[in-house]
Amino acid sequence: MLSAAINQKAAQSDHRLPQYRHTDNHCLANIGAQRSQTCPHSIKETAMPLTDLQHVPGASAAPAETGGFVFNHTMLRVKDAQSSLDFYTRVLGFRLLDARDFADAKFSLYFLALLPQDTAIPEEDTERRLWMAGIPGVLELTHNHGTETQDGPVYHDGNSEPRGFGHICISVPDIHAACARFDALDVPYQKRLEDGRMKHLAFIKDPDGYWVEIISNTPLA
């Protein structure tokens, strides 16, 4: 059963990545188009009061039975585990919490999270995995062995047809300092902070071309 699931998992990969478009002032680096299927010349945002959110069609109050549910992790397939681990740990500051190798099925899993430096991570394996299951915002990287030797991109980032997955998002206390550091590290951008009309956010790209949105979690000057 495990081998069949893994084979199906690997077969779902799209072996073509799109050619990224350069940012322009009207199309917001195609960010608006990715979200709305159009490329507006002006971006208008309408905020909804918290009291009105209960009336959004389809949304309902959380059932009592879901108390304790945690949005624990999201998974990305990566071509080269070493390159991706370097990006998420050295560039973005994630901490590697767990690694699992399935040699017979020819894939490995890596679990990372952004945590305060003084976070105590359990050392015992079973305890650490249980602790990890209770925290939000874990990133799982799946590496199917052998993809690192393939030519060109292996996985689709979801931001060209047929669109699906869009991006993950990291919030930072000083977005200008963060972007200056990305510049110094030669991190590729989909949208720089100063590009387009949305000058409060940026998009960088990981080694597989997945978009990572960068936003501020403090008031902008």
The string of pLDDT tens digits covering residues 172-221 is 999 999 999 999 999 999 999 999 999 999 999 999 999 999 999 999 87
213 as an active site residue: the answer is: yes
Domains in the chain, CATH or no CATH each = 70-151 (3.10.180.10), 164-220 (3.10.180.10)
Q: What is the pLDDT of residue 32?
A: 53
Give dist(CA 171, CA 216) in Å, integer. 5
Give dist(CA 34, CA 21) in Å, integer. 12
The string of pLDDT tens digits covering residues 106-135 is 999 999 999 999 999 999 999 999 999 999
Confidence of residue 30 (pLDDT cuts 50, 70, 90): low
Residues belonging to the binding site for Zn(2+) are: 140, 167, 213
Contact indicator for 216, 84 with CB cutoff of 8 Å: no
Listed residue (161, 157, 151) closest to 188, CA to CA:
157
Give dist(CA 64, CA 49) in Å, integer. 24
Contact indicator for 51, 188 with CB cutoff of 8 Å: no
Q: What is the pLDDT of residue 54?
A: 86
